[in-house]
């Protein structure tokens, strides 16, 4: 069921497609009373005649008193200012008037979120809070295969000993996690903005997209301009909450040291530094290692992984180690099977777990991450970076 609020409901023109499964009321006061009488209701659709300020105030109140109730706002015109204010007030979606398909889709998505909130899938009943590890995957040069490694590490960890894993796409402007596994990013990190400062496990759970058994994903924004809306403080808040929900949180990052990336590195129990056996990538890795030293991150939480390690490009493993002046934790071979798996939308550790690439990633996950005692995150060390 749903509560449809506003005079347009009586006319039925805007809400005709869902009216058969909803209850109509004239105003927000009546909607609030109906919610009081029906604690199981999870959706309120507010029509275009209701003033925006009143609708947003109503949604803001529900966000605190009944966060599992979703509000969908219908407007004659939808602009950026309205979308921003609606997002800050806790409105789940804003849809244009006279678009029943968009309204139906928004209502379905809102119900899905409410169901996730009222029936948590990430923490079983009676299960204590977890003390998970955050693993940040970073490469200072694009094209090294960072997203591929992050997603396959997540798969490998989720398959090992029943670990619960979340993959976080922190490449806010150009994240590829969703497209690489063919997920529809209906909810992304930008939807956490209304919860900033008071995020809890229920709120974090509402942002996640389920992918496989014991594996969920927090996807990057897809709308241009949304990346700039996500502050580093919100990233830190999200990672703190997710760490209590999952055994491992694998963070895929952009190829640059941003405040968001440093926030993730601060919270991480492990830094996975990726490179390929070519001079530009190795130079950038050397700069990365020097930067981490300068910022006083502990060396014992780092692992250097060489992707496409068997490429015949004139550099041997010994050459690589000599350049980076750091031991190599894993060598992942090159293979045409990797881009094929990406184009098919299935990580190679799922489609072909026995493949040498899969075995290298699975072996690294088991030997370097899963069996290691969880060290304290970098921010808990005496050598945390200075702000």
Give the pLDDT score at 126: 45
Q: Is residue 386 part of a domain?
A: no
Domain of 14: which CATH number?
3.40.50.2300
Which two three-digit tokens encode residue 313?
Answer: 């490009």
In Å, the largest CA–CA distance within the chain is: 76
Give the pLDDT score at 264: 95
Q: Is residue 244 part of a domain?
A: yes
Residue 294: burial class (beta carbons within 10 Å; 0-12, 13-18, 19+): exposed
Q: How confident is the model at residue 60 (pLDDT cuts 50, 70, 90)?
A: confident
Read off the pLDDT of residues 2-13 as tens digits, 9 standing for 90 and up.
Answer: 899 987 544 444
DSSP string, 106-154: HHHHHHHHHHHHHS-SSS-TTPPPP-PEEEEEE-SSTTS-HHHHHHHHH
Q: For residue 118, is pLDDT > 90?
A: no
pTM above 0.75, yes or no: no
Are 236 and 372 in a shared domain?
Answer: yes
What are the distances in angstroms from CA 302 to CA 133, 305, 333?
14, 10, 20
Q: Is the dihedral of CA 219, 220, 226, 231 positive or negative?
A: positive
DSSP bridge partners of 216: 166, 210
Are 49 and 79 in a shared domain?
Answer: yes
Domain of 196: which CATH number?
3.40.50.300
133-138 and 70-75 strand pairing: unpaired
Q: How confident is the model at residue 238 (pLDDT cuts 50, 70, 90)?
A: very high
Q: Is residue 385 part of a domain?
A: no
H helices within the chain, ranges in order? Answer: 7-11, 28-37, 52-65, 80-89, 100-118, 146-159, 177-180, 201-207, 232-243, 259-267, 279-294, 317-324, 337-344, 348-351, 356-364
User: The domain containing residue 149 runs over which residues?
Assistant: 133-380
Are 38 and 144 in a shared domain?
Answer: no
What are the distances in angstroms from CA 81 to CA 77, 86, 88, 191?
11, 9, 11, 16
Read off the pLDDT of residues 143-153 as tens digits, 9 standing for 90 and up.
Answer: 899 999 999 99
- The answer to whether 156 touches 362, Cβ cutoff 8 Å, is yes
Give the pLDDT score at 380: 39
Q: Is residue 177 part of a domain?
A: yes
Q: Is residue 127 part of a domain?
A: no
Read off the pLDDT of residues 126-137 as tens digits, 9 standing for 90 and up.
Answer: 455 668 999 999
Q: Is the dihedral of CA 117, 118, 119, 122 positive or negative?
A: positive
Residue 158: which of 376, 362, 327, 373 has the closest Cα?
362
Domains: count for the chain: 2
Q: Is residue 126 part of a domain?
A: no
């Amino acid at each position: 069921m749903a509560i449809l609020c506003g005079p347009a409901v009586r006319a039925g023109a805007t809400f005709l497609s869902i009216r058969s499964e909803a209850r109509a009321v004239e105003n927000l006061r009546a909607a609030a009373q109906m919610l009081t009488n029906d604690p199981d209701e999870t959706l309120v659709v507010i029509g275009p005649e209701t003033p925006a300020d009143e609708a947003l105030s109503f949604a803001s109140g529900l966000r605190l008193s009944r966060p599992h109730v979703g509000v969908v706002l219908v407007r004659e015109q939808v602009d950026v200012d309205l979308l921003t204010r609606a997002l800050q007030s806790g409105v789940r979606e804003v849809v244009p008037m006279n678009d029943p398909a968009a309204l139906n889709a928004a209502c379905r998505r809102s119900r899905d979120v409410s169901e996730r909130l009222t029936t948590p899938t990430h923490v079983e009943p009676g299960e204590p809070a977890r003390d998970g590890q955050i693993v940040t995957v970073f490469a200072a040069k694009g094209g090294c295969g960072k997203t591929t490694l992050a997603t396959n590490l997540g798969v490998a960890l989720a398959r090992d000993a029943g670990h619960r894993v979340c993959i976080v796409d922190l490449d806010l402007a150009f994240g590829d996690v969703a497209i690489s596994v063919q997920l529809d990013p209906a909810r992304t990190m930008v939807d956490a903005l209304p919860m900033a400062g008071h995020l809890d496990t229920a709120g974090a759970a509402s942002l996640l997209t389920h992918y496989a058994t014991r594996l969920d994903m927090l996807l990057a924004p897809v709308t241009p301009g949304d990346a700039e809306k996500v502050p580093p403080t919100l990233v830190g808040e999200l990672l703190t909450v997710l760490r209590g929900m999952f055994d491992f949180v694998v963070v895929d990052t952009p190829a640059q040291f941003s405040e968001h990336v440093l926030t993730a590195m601060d919270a991480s129990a492990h830094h996975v530094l990726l490179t390929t056996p070519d001079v530009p990538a190795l130079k950038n890795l050397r700069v990365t290692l020097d930067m981490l030293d300068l910022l006083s991150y502990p060396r014992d939480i780092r692992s250097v992984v060489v992707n496409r390690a068997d490429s015949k490009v004139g550099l041997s493993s010994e050459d690589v180690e000599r350049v980076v002046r750091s031991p190599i934790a894993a060598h992942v071979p090159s293979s045409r099977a990797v881009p094929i798996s990406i184009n098919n939308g299935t990580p190679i550790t799922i489609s072909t777990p026995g493949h040498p690439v899969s075995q290298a990633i699975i072996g690294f996950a088991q030997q370097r991450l899963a069996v290691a005692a969880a060290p304290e995150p970098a921010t808990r060390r005496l050598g945390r970076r200075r702000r």
